[in-house]
Amino acid sequence: MSDARQAIAVAKDAGAAELAAFHLNAAEKYLASAEKKLNERAYNQARSDANQAKMKALDALRASEDVQDTVDN
C-alpha cells in the first residue's frame, strides 16, 4: 500500500489534482477501499485495490505530464 500512497503523492506534486483529477480521484478511492479491506482482513482484495490505486495514480501522473508538455510546447 505504501507504493500506492507514494504514487498518489507524486501525482499530486505533478499537479494531477488540477490536470488529471479523474484519475487521481480513482486512485484515492481505490486506496481507501484497500485500507478498508485491510482492516477487514480481506488481504487479497486489499492488495488488488492497492495495485489498482497505484496504476491509477501513475495514469494521473502521465496525464499531468502530457498536459504540461502540451502547454510547454
What DSSP string runs through 3-64? HHHHHHHHHHHTTHHHHSHHHHHHHHHHHHHHHHHHHTT-HHHHHHHHHHHHHHHHHHHHHH
Indicate yes or no: pTM above 0.85.
yes
- pLDDT band, very low/low/confident/very high, at 73 (cuts 50, 70, 90): low
Name which residue leads in pLDDT, 28 or 72.
28
Q: What is the pLDDT of residues 57-69, one digit of tens each?
A: 999 999 999 887 7
How far is Cα 4 from Cα 46, in angstroms, rounded to an integer?
A: 12
